[in-house]
Structure 1
């Protein structure tokens, strides 16, 4: 839309056409002009689609090879995990709660990888690194679960605590949102499951910590607090060196005072500006981080009950990772 903002207001002031208008007449005028702008904008949708396609074509011209290899990496990650899962399900090992939780975490990691892929291919590297933030958390949690079956049990039980907390939040705001509130029967069922979970989690369970489920693991590692956070877990599983990237990703999720905080999308520009659309730059960092974290998750999953196959397939996907990075940095150069 091309328009000199304020022009309508200036024209109306010059004509003095609003002096004797009623509020309804003014609102009617505003609605009619707004509809005209909308119709003109809708008529130009075809041009917008063409422009988007041209931008995508330019991005793929340079990054297509890397994008295709990254897609192969994600597909291979899922295929390996699926084959491993099918094998374990045929044994009694599938009853190990660590296997149950790691299956969930790995599945979530593949979904997040696909979301990162979608953002990268659309030209949004900074959006992609914000989704990596979730992948990093999944990697940290996978490391904890791998080492502690009791933490895996706590992890599954904590769902009922979070459900009760979410139900209360929803109930507090349902009427203002014009939503149907929970019925008394539904609330009683949620509260009952919470009570059963708390019997095992104990009276010391701290619902103000999203990571209290990891206490069995943390206590074994010498943790002295009662309200663990993600950083506490990062330190104990030796992944705290990713904290600078995690902080960077957090800055992009929240509302920082610095508008272009280490913006990946303008990494190839001499003159920084406010980014409002797709970019040709900055893909190598989110791709690299995504593969690093997802490899940690995959390795914890397929080495829970390791075989020679586990080593072979982890080596294979590590080689794929190298090819993706080679392609990415060649494109950057």
Structure 2
């Protein structure tokens, strides 16, 4: 069965013949001629040009047919107007016809998907379970080290939060709050990266690392700037709320959403004005909280990277950005392929985890180290050393896995090339006549 579109086009192609047939039938009936299906078809063929050729001579306006009757049909402007009326009526019904047909087809298609879904889902789950198992076999050493790093960092973060919440001192209240919340977010992002990697999505993992890198850099700058800078950072939320309010008020009518309440909007406007009055107009920028600290009225994230001492990661950050935005590089370069360039990957793959994995380890270690106390104990020294050992182990383990896969892939491709070369060198074998059981040559 052809597609719905082809069926529709076939039906529309018959419309001129249907209209012409109706006109010819009416003309024959009006002229007193009996119904003759073959004659009607001959006349319609001539009218539509299907039966004309150069042998008809110059009498192009004379239609001759094999019939015992003398037939003369004249088509007037009124007939052509009637034909146009038919066309208009048909054209008016086409949109409704298309919509109705598409609606019925959509319901049937959805029912088919629903009937097949359980079996499809089961097969896909089995396939992905096997894929994840194979991925763990290949990458397990590096993945396990990353998981341990995340859990160790989580333990350090939990201990930091416990100590900060129990401390009666308010000397570092804003800084502790900012670092604690940023670290919690870093742990969550790191866990998201692991989910993506363990399911075969290297490019998605790299995109999420981009956010982790931003979180780590901001935390490192706050750690250097201290309590006053942390307070600015937390207050800067009102600047972002003000911008969000303006964007929402512009978009909500087209989205069909309710407008922001006047009371809530007024509160945001008031708090925004207070923040600008307190910290100056530069505070209203995207990174206005760090403007005074950096001595830059319009700082950007690159300035924060520099201040955090992480500018060496800028090329990796740019690479990760390709997986966030719709740039050409985002489709031209894929981590999830050994070929990398213009590889078409619509799902999971088993390569590309070196960059997101080692970057995850580095960013998470840097933000976690900010939570370790300045007064060292033997326990904290042990935690730091364990953190460092895991961090150093991860890049080597991931690189070994990637090299092993690349080596195996190379061997597979070389074997395939060799097989094709051998087939091309083989001479075609002469085929002997097949013989029956009595030794006679078969003729079939």
Smaller-chain TM-score bracket: 0.7 to 0.9
Q: Deviations over 1:37-72 (max 9, x none)?
A: 222233332224423334333323323443333222
Map 1:53-202 to 2 at 5 A: 53-93=129-169, 95-96=171-172, 97-148=174-225, 149-202=227-280
Is residue 283–residue 289 contact of structure 2 (8 Å, CA) maintained in 1? no
Is residue 102–residue 142 contact of structure 1 (8 Å, CA) maintained in 2? yes
Work out which of the residue numbers 105, 109, 126 in structure 2 matches 1:37: 109
Matched, 1:50 2:123: yes
Question: For residues 229 and 237 of structure 1, do their structure 2 counterparts lie closer, same or farther at Cα, with a shift above 3 Å needed?
Answer: same
Is residue 282–residue 291 contact of structure 2 (8 Å, CA) maintained in 1? no
Work out which of the residue numbers 206, 213, 217 in structure 1 matches 2:293: 217
Is residue 77–residue 298 contact of structure 1 (8 Å, CA) maintained in 2? yes
SS for the counterpart of 1:273 is coil
Superposition deviation, residue 238 in structure 1: 1.7
Is residue 125–residue 264 contact of structure 1 (8 Å, CA) maintained in 2? yes
Is residue 145–residue 152 contact of structure 1 (8 Å, CA) maintained in 2? yes
Q: Deviations over 1:200-250 (max 9, x none)?
A: 212x3242x32121123213xxxxx31000101212222111000000011
Question: For residues 206 and 99 of structure 1, do their structure 2 counterparts lie closer, same or farther at Cα, with a shift above 3 Å needed?
Answer: closer
Structure 1 distance, partners of 2:101, 2:14, is 10
Tell me which residue corresponds to 2:398: 328
Is residue 160–residue 180 contact of structure 2 (8 Å, CA) maintained in 1? no
Matched, 1:242 2:298: no
Is residue 94–residue 100 contact of structure 1 (8 Å, CA) maintained in 2? no
Deviates more, 1:86-95 or 1:133-142: 86-95
Question: For residues 288 and 94 of structure 1, do their structure 2 counterparts lie closer, same or farther at Cα, with a shift above 3 Å needed?
Answer: farther
- TM-score scaled by length of structure 1: 0.87
Structure 2 distance, partners of 1:110, 1:243, is 22
Structure 2 distance, partners of 1:18, 1:33, is 22
The number of equivalent residue pairs is 320
**Whose relative contact order is higher, 1 or 2, with alpha carbons under 8 Å and at least 6 apart?**
1
Question: For residues 72 and 328 of structure 1, do their structure 2 counterparts lie closer, same or farther at Cα, with a shift above 3 Å needed?
Answer: same
Is residue 252–residue 261 contact of structure 1 (8 Å, CA) maintained in 2? no
Is residue 200–residue 349 contact of structure 2 (8 Å, CA) maintained in 1? yes
RMSD: 2.4
- What are structure 2's unaligned runs of at least 5 residues? 16-89, 405-444
Deviates more, 1:322-331 or 1:276-285: 322-331
Superposition deviation, residue 15 in structure 1: 4.0
Structure 2 distance, partners of 1:182, 1:260, is 39
State which structure, 1 or 2, has the greater radius of gyration over its C-alpha atoms.
Answer: 2
Question: For residues 32 and 54 of structure 1, do their structure 2 counterparts lie closer, same or farther at Cα, with a shift above 3 Å needed?
Answer: farther
Is residue 158–residue 213 contact of structure 1 (8 Å, CA) maintained in 2? yes
Work out which of the residue numbers 321, 345, 368 in structure 2 matches 1:275: 345
Question: For residues 228 and 112 of structure 1, do their structure 2 counterparts lie closer, same or farther at Cα, with a shift above 3 Å needed?
Answer: same
Q: Deviations over 1:305-331 (max 9, x none)?
A: 442343331211222223433432332
Structure 1 distance, partners of 2:4, 2:315, is 49
Work out which of the residue numbers 299, 303, 306 in structure 2 matches 1:228: 299
Question: For residues 294 and 44 of structure 1, do their structure 2 counterparts lie closer, same or farther at Cα, with a shift above 3 Å needed?
Answer: same
Structure 2 distance, partners of 1:270, 1:85, is 42
Tell me which residue corresponds to 1:255: 326
